[in-house]
Structure 1
Amino acid sequence: MKHLKKLHVQVILALLLAVALGLGAPQTAMAMKPLGQGFIALLKMLLAPIVFCTVVHGIAHARDLGRLGRLGFKTLVYFEVVSTLAMAVGFVLVNVFEPGAGLHATNLAEPEPIARAATAAGEGLTFANFALGMIPHTLVDAFARGDILQVLVVSILAGIALNQAVGADSVILRGIDEGQKVLFKILGYIMRLAPIGAFGAMAAAVGSYGGTTLLYLMKLVVLYYAASLFFVFVVLGAICWYAGFSLMAILRLIKDELLLVLGTASGEVAFPRLVVKLKNAGCDEMVVGFVLPAGYSFNLDGTSIYMAIAIGFIAQATDTPFSLMQQVGMLAVLMLTSKGGTTVAGGAFIKLAATLQTLRQLPLGGLGLLFGIDRLLATATATVNMVGNVVAVFALARWEGGFDQERYRAAIADAEKPSPEKTT
């Protein structure tokens, strides 16, 4: 019975019950959707203030702002290289296995909701608008909208200003530190609802889409999951090896967060707990505070794989000629369009729609093929995004000399103990 006190065990049981309910009573399962939506909404409520407190606290206490500049440069270079590798993996696999070949879906109409969403997203798809979109209208607006990229910009500016304007014993910094503790206490209360949230989200997904769509597009789903596993265990595994870490040890460390993301298809649900775990695992506070929030906007490896495979699949399924040079050009555009936004379920689908609407090389109606299985794909997308960001924090902490090996070993050993789950 003591194992039932562990969060990951509770989530696993909730997911199994959700699948059973979805297959046995689809209508009842779909009615469970508000449980998942409510849990995600509770966690999203905490994201902006947690990002702000974490980033400001880390930068304000940094003794060397030049180090922050170096960290920022290395972080952005790392993100661009790794996410481009993710896209390349997707393009190679979709060209080799051709999951859409033979479908001959040449007369697809553009579903009106998809067309509207794509047009709205595509209209603002320029580098200038992307850069300007990072700047909030007011300091408060960034928090009101919950735009993590804008909150990150405000947090960096505030952290640098506090670093230079006040002392380490400033009442403002003490207030931010105590505010962070209060937020994590609230998080602990919310996380007790994680099994209920995961149950609601998964039950609704299984009940809505059932087995027909799975059979119809099974080849695509299998290929996408295989690409995701290949990227995590080969590409990210190689990065971990080069940085001196064990990928399997890191995955054991974040097993609770992995299950939450698998259940909700949203990477945001894991962010608050990852902040605590990564700092406790020996990563420097400034590295965690900068790299992790930035990764949620710039290091979306799963989204990159999704967009590459989805574009190849649509071209094959609609019998649209799509040469190698066109794919390379599309890859260059995806390096921009895959960035930004949030990691909620469906986010990658909207980015894909915006890309197709802007370039107009592939039929927008091809998105209708993916709409039914987007929830299945979103699960892997969010999971790969999260693992990629965790690996980025560990790697950059090591390369920046901001890593405590002893704390890391203690955290890994603690994660492997058969002890009841502790909430933060």
Structure 2
Amino acid sequence: MMATSEGKHAASGGMATADVLAPRQVKKPLYRKLYVQVIVAVVLGAVLGYVYPDAALYLKPYGDAFVKAIKVVVAPIIFTTIVVGIAKMENIRRVADVGIKALLYFEVASTLALIIGMAVGNVWKIGVGINADPAAFDTKAVEAYAKVAKTMNLTDFFMSMIPTSFAEPFVKGDIMPVLFIALLLGAALSMAGERGRPIVSFLEAASVGLFGMVRIIMYVAPLAAFCAMAFTVGKYGVKTLADLGQLVASIYLVSVLFVLIVLGGFLRLCGFSVFRVLNYFKDEILFVFAATSAETMMPRSMQKLEKVGVAKEVVGLVMPGGFSFNMDGTAIYMTMAVLFLAHAFNVELTIWHQLTVLFVMLFTSKGAAGVTGGGFIALAATLPVLDSVPVAGLALLLGVDRFMAEIRAATNLTSNIVATLVVGRWVGAIDMEKARAELKAGFIETAETRAWDQPANRAMQAAE
């Protein structure tokens, strides 16, 4: 992008100006790169959890503190990004176009994830030979999940998108109601024209401070990853992982292949390389893997997607919407876990049983979005469809669910990053020249690039 811009300025005698505006891409030393720090932290955390499991349990609050701190700014960032993006659009119909195409993509990707998980579960018969006895399981262990699952339905999910007050979703941190309010306000400010400009300018300036908060909190990300991994290994241990290692390994393998082959195929159709995309967002993916919370890296991923060249309104609509409608990692986990439990209890599922479960999961995987332990709760909501597979059997998965939550979170984040790029390309709201150059170069954060989101910087970029 910069090379092209410099060529244009050279033709008009503006090479000097382009050189001034071009950010100095000075690479950081290896030890200062976030993904390196996170990898080291995860390894050290796992070692501590294995050697001193009792001490590792006390580290859980410190990992949770980081997640809570990031979630404080998630709702305001989504709100300001969507409102500003839509308010600056001249054609409101474009918002509907982006939304419809995003939903179409979400359904295709989620359905593929469910089908692939189901197919692998039938071929790789994990759980056969366990011969589990339903009477031997303590129902109290899964009682809390089952209780939430009983009250969960698709109607309630859609009704929950409309908040009872303007402030409620910001207090609770619910993404979909924030999206609902932002869409309405963005459309209203767009129709207001010049009268709405002061509010748009204020929200755009506020977003600079919000992203600044994210950068400050990110300084302790490696420490949070260390604490989260130490707790996971200390609490559940490698023995539990070894007992159900085949299930965990299968979900990891299928999730990785889904990203590389299916999501990679979508990216290839849009002119991107999956490996360059993964390299560009490796910091965020590695962190959510350790913290098991994909939402924590949503603000930073949104910021980088805009830097790649995706339009602000597309990033603001697709990323938040994807975390309710496009949970591919959760979809893979759900189908494979159901078949694992069926095999463990020696239950034979016919093709019609499996198709029924597949259909139900299209809804339950959405209904549990935003709920703590959403994948586990969605599974509890699905099992009653199969009377022969007891809900109490979920206790079999409790010990290793945290390990599977890691790959679920990483896959969910990756799938929504890919969704944003694909939808952006589909609606023609991405600068492909800039995107390819940025992804090829890789993300390099310098003193100049840290301020890329400021209005003044955007104005200079537009002038180029």
Q: Same fold per TM (> 0.5)? A: yes
> In the alignment, is residue 174 of structure 1 matched against residue 201 of structure 2?
yes
Q: Write the letter of the residue equivalent to 1:309.
A: M
Instruction: Measure how far apart 1:342 and its partner are.
Output: 4.6
Instruction: Measure how far apart 1:418 and its partner are.
Output: 10
User: Aligned in 2, Cα 1:420/1:265: closer, same or farther, shift over 3 Å?
Assistant: farther
What does residue 115 of structure 1 align with?
143
Maintained 8 Å contact 1:315/1:321: yes
Q: Which has the larger displacement, 97-106 or 340-349?
A: 340-349
Instruction: Measure how far apart 1:37 and its partner are.
Output: 0.3
Alignment partner of 1:223 out of 246, 250, 255: 250
Alignment partner of 1:246 out of 273, 277, 301: 273
Task: In structure 1, list runs of 5 or more residues that go unmatched.
Answer: none
User: Aligned in 2, Cα 1:190/1:344: closer, same or farther, shift over 3 Å?
Assistant: farther
Q: Distance in 1 between matches of 2:385 and 2:61?
A: 34
User: Aligned in 2, Cα 1:12/1:317: closer, same or farther, shift over 3 Å?
Assistant: same
**For each residue in 1:211-249, what CA deviation from the matched residue of structure 2 results, as whole angstroms up to 9, or x when unmatched?**
211111011011111110121111111111111110001
> In the alignment, is residue 309 of structure 1 matched against residue 309 of structure 2?
no
Instruction: Measure how far apart 1:165 and its partner are.
Output: 2.1
> In the alignment, is residue 84 of structure 1 matched against residue 102 of structure 2?
no
**For each residue in 1:179-203, what CA deviation from the matched residue of structure 2 results, as whole angstroms up to 9, or x when unmatched?**
1111001111100010111111010
SS at match of 2:429: coil
Alignment partner of 1:154 out of 166, 181, 187: 181
Maintained 8 Å contact 1:345/1:378: no
Maintained 8 Å contact 2:86/2:313: yes
SS at match of 1:104: coil
Maintained 8 Å contact 1:253/1:412: yes
What does residue 222 of structure 2 align with?
195
What does residue 2 of structure 1 align with?
29
**For each residue in 1:45-70, what CA deviation from the matched residue of structure 2 results, as whole angstroms up to 9, or x when unmatched?**
11111111111111111111111111
Q: Distance in 2 between matches of 1:105 and 1:419?
A: 56
User: Aligned in 2, Cα 1:416/1:211: closer, same or farther, shift over 3 Å?
Assistant: same
Q: Write the letter of the residue equivalent to 1:123.
A: T
Maintained 8 Å contact 2:353/2:386: no
Maintained 8 Å contact 1:5/1:420: no
Instruction: Measure how far apart 1:145 and its partner are.
Output: 1.2
Q: Distance in 2 between matches of 1:30 and 1:421?
A: 40
Q: Distance in 2 between matches of 1:216 and 1:310?
A: 15
Task: In structure 2, list runs of 5 or more residues that go unmatched.
Answer: 1-27, 452-464
Maintained 8 Å contact 1:99/1:219: yes
Q: Write the letter of the residue equivalent to 2:146.
A: A
> In the alignment, is residue 208 of structure 1 matched against residue 232 of structure 2?
no
Q: Which has the larger displacement, 40-49 or 65-74?
A: 65-74
**For each residue in 1:124-161, what CA deviation from the matched residue of structure 2 results, as whole angstroms up to 9, or x when unmatched?**
32x32222122111121111111111111111111111
The correspondence of residues 243-322 of structure 1 with structure 2, limited to 5 A, is 243-322=270-349
What does residue 55 of structure 1 align with?
82
What does residue 259 of structure 2 align with?
232
**For each residue in 1:251-274, what CA deviation from the matched residue of structure 2 results, as whole angstroms up to 9, or x when unmatched?**
011011011111101101110101
What does residue 58 of structure 2 align with?
31
Q: Distance in 1 between matches of 2:411 and 2:45?
A: 22
Instruction: Measure how far apart 1:407 and its partner are.
Output: 2.0
What does residue 14 of structure 1 align with?
41
Q: Write the letter of the residue equivalent to 2:411.
A: V
Instruction: Measure how far apart 1:2 and its partner are.
Output: 2.8
SS at match of 2:132: coil
Instruction: Measure how far apart 1:417 and its partner are.
Output: 6.3
Q: Distance in 2 between matches of 1:164 and 1:419?
A: 38
What does residue 395 of structure 1 align with?
422
> In the alignment, is residue 323 of structure 1 matched against residue 350 of structure 2?
yes
Alignment partner of 1:137 out of 155, 164, 167: 164
Instruction: Measure how far apart 1:112 and its partner are.
Output: 1.2
Maintained 8 Å contact 2:50/2:237: yes
**For each residue in 1:62-103, what CA deviation from the matched residue of structure 2 results, as whole angstroms up to 9, or x when unmatched?**
111111111111111110111000000100011111101111
User: Aligned in 2, Cα 1:341/1:21: closer, same or farther, shift over 3 Å?
Assistant: same
Q: Which has the larger displacement, 382-391 or 405-414?
A: 405-414
User: Aligned in 2, Cα 1:419/1:158: closer, same or farther, shift over 3 Å?
Assistant: closer
Maintained 8 Å contact 2:367/2:378: no
SS at match of 2:163: coil
Instruction: Measure how far apart 1:401 and its partner are.
Output: 0.8
Q: Distance in 2 between matches of 1:328 and 1:376?
A: 28
* Count of aligned pairs: 423
Q: Distance in 2 between matches of 1:148 and 1:403?
A: 24
Instruction: Measure how far apart 1:6 and its partner are.
Output: 1.5
Q: Distance in 2 between matches of 1:339 and 1:240?
A: 24
Instruction: Measure how far apart 1:110 and its partner are.
Output: 4.3
- State the structure with more CA Rg: 2
TM-score (norm 2): 0.87
Maintained 8 Å contact 2:145/2:376: no
Instruction: Measure how far apart 1:166 and its partner are.
Output: 3.7
User: Aligned in 2, Cα 1:6/1:116: closer, same or farther, shift over 3 Å?
Assistant: closer
Q: Distance in 2 between matches of 1:75 and 1:99?
A: 34
Structure 1 vs Structure 2 CA RMSD: 2.0
Maintained 8 Å contact 1:7/1:421: no
Alignment partner of 1:408 out of 432, 435, 455: 435
